[in-house]
Structures are given as structure tokens and as C-alpha cells.
Structure 1
């Protein structure tokens, strides 16, 4: 049997004899199991709730009576985004961004009803999910378990004895590192089993789930190497523990917290009030469709009359008010999209800047990879906003066109007692409007987005193994 295998077995036996180590391993494993079960149940409940709400909203929209199409435009409609297949593993930004949107004419709303806004303030400190357990808690437990793997041998004077028995320094370091890696795999196993079950869903991708598992293996492998390197470099276990806890606090807590603040300072986003004021100002500059003397819409009226070869609005074969609504929505939606694109660009720049901090902390690289794989990152949120807005625009324009084709201009402008009834169109038109269906990106697109993070984590593993090799040289000198 290889010497490093014997060292690994002896180290694992030592951990099993240590009640504190056993308690730590058991507690974190149970916590990973609980996180997997609780998060899966939460996401299943959320999916069922959103499905019910979407069905109720669609039923209410379809059940509207005969009415004027523009009233339906203002009645609006709710759309919901169901959780992604892997969201139970890592909910990402979804609890903060919201999962539903109210669609209406003349306005472009944003997503609402995020879990954080409806839960206690403790939710902001991190939900109990498999990703949270493996990203934050697992490295800390590994530190407490492994900070003395090499330092204790030097403190007790047993390092020289091991080498006299025929074990090389490489075998000793390799065996200790392998023992830590096996413990980390025990921590990952419950989460990976849950992830594999989630990946069996029809809309999930087993390849993406496998790459996600690989990312966590690289991440915790890097931590194992850092722990072994610190234990080899520092003469006393106490010093190694203090240094490693400080490294964990900076890498897993401080840098991920500071990075978004730096990104926000570099690329400031206007708040909702500033955006509303800016949109209102630009809308006034574009023109007012309700003002007959407005330059833009006066020119639009002339173009319409020329197109149909008539001199009066009343002579048009279609309802001019419907055409005016179509043009007004086109102009305002273009403005809304411009603001949305600028906001999305700024958010992408913020996210890219945060990603650069992965050179200082592997936690950031893993977090971005994990959210991207689970389709709970910024890109997935913006994709929902884009698709919801596209659906809103189609819905409103279909109703505006229905006003132009299905309601005569004479009836639309009439004020007599029966005018209201003549302005209405048959309610069957509401059922003809296509339902909203969120379309996630293809798994190949998701996989391509994971490669940069995976390469960074692989680089961290190589760097930490190199640090361990250099520390082992000092250990050889110190013996």
C-alpha cells in the first residue's frame, strides 16, 4: 500500500477518534442534508404557488366581459416566472429581484414580490441552501478540522518519526491533503445527490449540473490546499487556525461584500424616482398623442391621411384613435426600452467588475458560476424582464390594433346613450391573445457562460497547490 494512502488512513482515524472533529463532520453533513431538503421543498412550494397565481391571473384576464379594447389595455395582466430546475440548489438573486410583473399599457414595470421583501430581515444574511452551506460553512469547518494536520506533527515531534519509517515528505503532505479532500467530499455528497435529482427534471441539463459539481470540487479542493499550506507553513496549530479563520473571513465574507459596493460606486444606477422623472421629461419632449396640435402626432396624422388617400380622419377605413394608440405605444415603448437597456448595461458592467474580484476570492468565482448554472443570476433576471416586456408590447399592440379594426371612429367618439355598448368588442378576442411563457436559455449557452468561472477556480486550485508545495519545502527544512 502506498505511503500516502497509509498517511491518509491514519489522519482519518485520528479525526474519527476526535469527538470534536466527528461532531463537526456530522453536524455539517446533517446541515447539508437539511439545506437540500428545505430548499427543495421551498422551491417546489414557490413553483406551485406561482403556477396557481399565473393560472388565476390568466383566468381573470380571459373572463373579462365584452368591453372596449383600450379598457383591457389598462386592465393589465400579471405574468410569473417559475423557478428554474436548479434554483433549489442556489436561488441566487431571485429572492431579491422578484418573480412576477404587472403588464399594462403606457408603462414598463419591473419585477415584484421578491422573497426578501416578504420575509424576515434574517433572509438578507443568507438562506439555508446547499450553495450557502458549501460556499460559506464548509470551508470554515474544514479549517477547524484541518488547521493542525501538519503543524501538530511538528509540534509533537512525530514528523521526523514518520519520515524515518519510510514515508517521504511528499507522501505525508499528499496523504494529509487527501484526507481533507475526502472530508470535503462527505460535505458535498448530500448536496450533490440533491443536485442530481434536480437535474433529472425535463427542463434541466445534466451536463450543466455536472460542471456545477466540478466547480464546487475545485473550490473546496482549493480550501483544502490552503489549509494544508498554512498548517505546513506555521509552526503552531493556534497560529494556523487564526490565520486561516482570517483568510476565510476576508475571502468568503469581506471581499464578496465589498465588491458589489465598489461596483455600484463605479457604475451608479439611478433610483426609481430618478428614472421616472427622466422618462416623464423625455415623454413630454417626444409629444402628446392627446394633443391635436402636437407637432409629432400632427405629422403622424398627415402621414396616415396620405397613406389612405383621404382628407379627413372620419373617412379613414380604420379607427384613427386605434392607429394613434399603436403609434403612441410604439414611441413610448422605444423610450422605455432605451432606459431599460441602459440600466441593464450598467448592471452588466457592475457584475463584470464584481467578477474581477474573483482574483482575490474564489468565493466570488464560485458564486457567479453557481448562479449562472442554476439560472438564478443577473442574466436570467434580465432575460425574464426582456421577455415579459416583449409580451407586454405584443399584448398592448394587439389590443390597440383591435381598437383600430374592430371599433369604428364614429362609435369611438360618440357620446350618446348607446355609444358605450357599440364601442365594445366580443370577449372572445381576449382568449386569442397568446399566453406568456418564459423561455430559458439553451443549456449550451449556459455551459459557455460557466467556462470563465471554471477556469478561474481551476487556476485557484493550481495556485493553492503551488503554495502548498512551497510550504512543504519549508516544512522539510524545519524538521
Structure 2
């Protein structure tokens, strides 16, 4: 017997209209009792909870191993850099250096784009190398279908379980003829829906509880991401509540339980599976991006127009030489108080770096335009809004990767220019090729430190828009609940 049928038995002896809150609480409590008695509901919930716990533990251990490996490789790279002997500064420019992007403490929850983007940059003079060694590029093709993370479980699997638990919450009462009887006995339609919404909303939060608890633990352990974890938990809680409320209202709007189940599964397929897969292709069609090879060819053509910075007699640097000689008041480059070869290479690095950064920003703008097209579907597919919020707060979104690339390029430029300055000031022009300078110069160069995006920036760009989507959905569902409550009461007259 259903929970609402039990409520009917308790009211059979009188027709007094129960208090709204009392009636809603009674409906909520009886719905919980009915769910506890359902072996299918209990089994599905238990399996989902176990899967979430397993995903959390596995993801956290994987993140810990990855961070430890990157830290070890960074230390090895720094050690090799410091082990260089006394040599010419330009040899050091071409020796190069590796930097590795560390993971945020919240990356275990949502790997975002990190498995598909490189995490290692090789920094050298006159070149801008792309990030390498992505997990997707080195692992099984199965990785491309998604990894088992707490975010994946809550975003993809939890809504499906919620739909299976809630599809018959109201429709089954209608099929059995109990709904009309209860409403005719004085149970307000609003109280009925409020109770159902409260019961399944609570169940949805319980299904997400292991993931939310993991966020709370990380926030308590690491104060630097405490606010990030709180916002992420808020977003995931709002997401599962939207699904729970929508499932109950679909059940209330359909005449039969099987119709409600078909509608909910169809919504899940479209909003969680189809749209997130289709929208990136639509965006790529409307905003095409050149391939890496095409970009490299364009950059090389533009570099050729600048001339050869290794050749002091290059015609493109004739004007630069004239300005340098005028600045120091001499007639010949041999009379300069600095090494002209170092100045030429320094100028060439400045020009090429400006070119690299300009192309980077152009590519980032194209990706942002594609993201804007994908974002148009956020209202129809709340999971897109949640992913935007989740990736950003976990530090595994596209913006975080772009920041790493820009920081890497800025660090490369500072490092190379510092070596070029040594070339200009510590190496004589007359004895350029034979000169060696002390290794202490490059050992004293600062090391790379990755600074993540600030929470205020993340909140403005990602958190607020995503929460606005959830707020709009809640407002829409509240309006639908009010309309359905009145419809239920009219149908009982």
C-alpha cells in the first residue's frame, strides 16, 4: 500500500481540512516509508552510494599520485637545470627547461579538461611549445568516454536514479484511484505536491551525500579551497534538487506512471547525454578553429617577415642597429659597451614573444566564442551549467589551462630575456663564441610558480551564471507546482 493511501486511512474518520504544513509533512513521511519498503529503490540507492564512494576514493588517490609525480618531475627538471656547467648564455637559452602544472586539491572531484590537455611545457628560446603529455593522448581510448569521478556520478547517473525513484510518486496514486479520493477528503493539492517534493528532494540530497561529504572534508582540510568547495557543494545540491522536483512534477502532470518514466528518461537522454555531446560540434561548425599545424605555419611565415635575430647583419635589423648606435653615441657595433649580438637576440625574442602571445589570445577568443554557443543550451541542459561551475571551482576548466599557458609563456619570456641580458652584458663582442660565464647566474633565476585564478574571478565568470540557471529552473518548477496543484484540486471536484 502506498504512503498516501496510509494518509487516507488516517483521515477517513473526519473531513476537516488538515493544516498545510502538517499535511505536507505527513505526505513526505509516508513517501519515505514507501521508498524504504521498495526493494528496487533501496537497491538502486545503495548501488549509487557505493559507486559514489568508490569514485571518490579512486579519484582522490589518482590525483595524489599525479601531483606527486609532477612534483617529482619538476624537482628533477630543476636539478638538471642547476647542474649545467659554466657555458655561454645562449647555449643555456637552447638548453631549455620543463615546467609542470600542479593540480588543485579539488581536482579529484572533477578532472574537467585536464585529461585532454597537456600538463607539461618545454620552455626554450625563440619557440613556444604546446602543452604535452595529456592522459588521453597516452592512455586507452576508453578514457575519452569519461572517467569515473564523483562529478561524473552526480552529474550523469544520479539524475537517472532520481527519475526511477520519483516517476510514480504522483502518477501511481492517480492510476490506483487514490489521488482523487485523498483530494476529495480535504488534502490540499499544494500540500500533496509539497510533501512529495520535500521527500524526493531529501532523497536526492542523500544520494549526493557522499560527494558532498567529500567536498566538505577537503574544505575542512585545506583552507585555500574551502570557499571553492562550499560553492561547488551548493551547485551540486541545487542540481540534484532540480532533478528531484522536475521528476515529481512530471509524475503529477502525466496520467500514467509509465508515461512519466518514459518522459523522464527521454529528458535525461536529451539533457545529460545528447546536448552536451552535440553542442560542442555545433559550436565548432559555427566558429572553426585552425589546426595546430596551420597555426604553426602561420606563425613561421610571420616570423620570417621579422628577419633572423641570430644574424646581426639581417636587413630587417638594420634600423634596430642604427637606433642602438645612436643611443650609445658610437659609430661601430664593436665600440658598444654591450654585446650587440645579445641585444639583437633580445630584440628578436621580444618580437617573437609578442607574436606568440597574440596568436594565443586569438585562439583563446575562438574557444571562448565556442563556449558561448555551448552556453546557450544551459537553460535546456542544467548539466552544462553545473559542469561550467564544477570545472572552474576545481581548477580543471579551459580558463585554468589557458592561465597556465599564459603564465608559462610569461615565465619563458622572462627567463630567456634574463639570459639574453647576460649575453649582452657579461659576454664580450670580440670574444663572443669562446666566452663562458659562471653557472651561478642561471642557478639564481627564479623558478616557475603557478598561481590559480582567484575565487572572485571564478565566481563572476562561472559560479554566478550557473547558479542563475538553477535559480531560473527553481522558479519555473515552483510556478509549475502551483499550477499543477490547482489542476489536481479541480480534477477532484
Query: For 1:235 and 1:478, how far apart are their aligned partners in 2?
Result: 12
Give the paired residue count.
471
Structure 1: segments with no counterpart, 5+ residues: 414-418
Query: For 1:350 and 1:115, how far apart are their aligned partners in 2?
Result: 23
Query: For 1:475 and 1:135, how far apart are their aligned partners in 2?
Result: 32
More displaced stretch, 120-129 vs 196-205: 196-205
Residue 459 of structure 2 is matched in structure 1 by: 447
Query: For 1:13 and 1:121, how far apart are their aligned partners in 2?
Result: 44
Structure 1 position 293, deviation (Å)? 4.8
Residue 243 of structure 1 is matched in structure 2 by: 263
**Residues 271-290 of structure 1, C-alpha deviations (whole Å, 9 max, x = no match):** 11100110111111122224
Query: For 1:185 and 1:165, how far apart are their aligned partners in 2?
Result: 32
Query: For 2:168 and 2:292, how far apart are their aligned partners in 1?
Result: 52
Structure 1 position 217, deviation (Å)? 1.7
CA contact 1:106–1:329 (8 Å) conserved in 2? yes
Q: How does 1:60-99 map to 2 (within 5 A)?
A: 60-99=80-119
Structure 2: segments with no counterpart, 5+ residues: 1-20
CA contact 1:226–1:467 (8 Å) conserved in 2? no
1:228 to 243, 248, 265: 248
Query: For 1:115 and 1:322, how far apart are their aligned partners in 2?
Result: 40
More displaced stretch, 312-321 vs 237-246: 312-321
Residue 176 of structure 2 is matched in structure 1 by: 156
More displaced stretch, 133-142 vs 168-177: 168-177
Residue 416 of structure 1 is matched in structure 2 by: none
CA contact 2:215–2:230 (8 Å) conserved in 1? no
Q: How does 1:246-395 map to 2 (within 5 A)?
A: 246-395=266-415
CA contact 1:85–1:199 (8 Å) conserved in 2? no
**Residues 226-270 of structure 1, C-alpha deviations (whole Å, 9 max, x = no match):** 111111111111111111100111011111111111111222111
2:84 match: secondary structure: coil
Query: For 1:292 and 1:74, how far apart are their aligned partners in 2?
Result: 18
1:55 equivalent in alignment to 2:67: no
Runs of at least 4 residues off by over 6 Å: none
Structure 1 position 56, deviation (Å)? 0.6
Query: For 1:49 and 1:225, how far apart are their aligned partners in 2?
Result: 44
2:485 to 460, 472, 475: 472
**Residues 139-192 of structure 1, C-alpha deviations (whole Å, 9 max, x = no match):** 000011110000000011111333355432211111111111111111121111
Query: For 2:214 and 2:104, how far apart are their aligned partners in 1?
Result: 15
Q: How does 1:68-147 map to 2 (within 5 A)?
A: 68-147=88-167
When the two structures are superposed, what TM-score results if normalisation uses the length of structure 2? 0.92
Structure 1 position 444, deviation (Å)? 2.5
Residue 11 of structure 2 is matched in structure 1 by: none
1:457 equivalent in alignment to 2:451: no
Residue 239 of structure 2 is matched in structure 1 by: 219
Residue 186 of structure 1 is matched in structure 2 by: 206
- For the aligned residue pairs, the C-alpha RMSD in angstroms reads 1.6
